Amino acid sequence: MCDTASQALSSKPTPVFGLADGNSFYASCERVFRPDLAKVPIVVLSNNDGCVIARSYDAKPFVKMGAPYFQIKDVLRRHGIQSFSSNFSL
């Protein structure tokens, strides 16, 4: 075996990390389980429905990420945006 090959076999493996990022992830998950929401703008709320943690693309122009739910209820109604409690078990 050549010297380079034996060094490669005996050296410590380099850690490898991965990152998966889903666009509008929790909103997209809601739509997978509720196909009737495909054309409806939606937001997903945090635990205890405190603030927005995910927005569908069609809801993004009207709702900021992290917006407190109590402050945006009228905006949601005005633009026909439906809200859902988080369901992390999806």
**Any idea where the domains of the chain sit in the sequence?**
22-85
Residue 62, beta-bridge partner list: none
Residue 55 token pair: 């927005």
pTM, two decimals, is 0.75
What pLDDT, on the 0 to 100 scale, is given for residue 8? 58
Least Cα distance to 42 among 12, 89, 2, 86 occurs for 86
What pLDDT, on the 0 to 100 scale, is given for residue 65? 96
What pLDDT, on the 0 to 100 scale, is given for residue 21? 78
Q: Which residues contact 28 (CB under 8 A, 6 or more apart)?
A: 22, 56
Q: What is the CATH number of domain 22-85?
A: 3.40.1170.60
**Tens-level pLDDT at each residue, the chain (90 residues):** 556 656 656 678 889 999 887 889 999 999 999 999 999 999 999 989 999 999 999 999 999 999 999 999 999 999 999 999 998 776
